[in-house]
Structure 1
């Protein structure tokens, strides 16, 4: 199981604006500190943490942050409508479009996904895979 994912950022205010545009809608809460941004799912009394946590931090070595070539982080939305809404909110908060929300021929009939880049260049996917929603034809 993946426990946490960390991306580097050079501008924490810009990163916060971007990630706070969609992660709270996916139930992630934000804790902010000198070490960066920590997004985590809620934990009820007596429950174990729901993983993974998501961190946005300055680089440890002090060099500029960079996006991984071939790396992507995917967040699951409740449905296709939420994926559309969160993709639009992330773009309005400084993201760059890498693929409008929709179906892709190479994935399952109900896999609905939109791609974007955060302000640092990290690739993000927002997806839904609900078999009760309309699917791709063909």
Structure 2
């Protein structure tokens, strides 16, 4: 099981604006630890923490952050409409579009996704895949 995912950024304030535009709507809570951002799902009493956590940090070595070629983090939304709404919110919060919300037949007939880049250039996907949601005849 993946415990956590980290993306590097140079501007924590810009990153917080971007990620806080959509992660709380997916249930993540923000905690700032030593100036870095930690987004985690709430813990249920008597259960282990919900994983993975998502960290946004300045690189430990002090060098500039860079986005990995072929690296992407995907977050599952609750509906196609939420994908659309969160994509728009992330763009308004400083992100850039890497693929408008829509179906991607390459990944299956019900795979609905939008792609973004955070202000640092890290690639993010917001997706929903449910054959029971109306709106797609295959």
Q: Scaled by the length of structure 2, what TM-score is found?
A: 0.96
User: How many pairs are equivalent?
Assistant: 138
1:76-133 Cα deviation digits (max 9, x unpaired): 0001000000000000000000000001121211100000000000000000001111
Which residue is 1:53 aligned to?
53
Aligned pair 1:42/2:35, yes or no?
no
Unaligned runs of 5+ in 2: none
Structure 1 runs of 4+ off > 6 angstroms? Answer: none
For residues 19-64 of structure 1, give each alpha carbon's deviation from its aligned partner in whole angstroms, at most 9, with x where no partner exists.
0000000000000122400000000211111100000001011000
Task: Identify unmatched segments of 5+ residues in structure 1.
Answer: none
Q: Does the 8 Å CA contact 1:109/1:135 hold for their aligned counterparts?
A: no
Does residue 2 of structure 1 match 2:2? yes
Moved more, 23-32 or 104-113: 104-113
Counterparts of residues 46-125 of structure 1 (less than 5 Å): 46-125=46-125
| SS of 1:91 mapped into structure 2 | helix
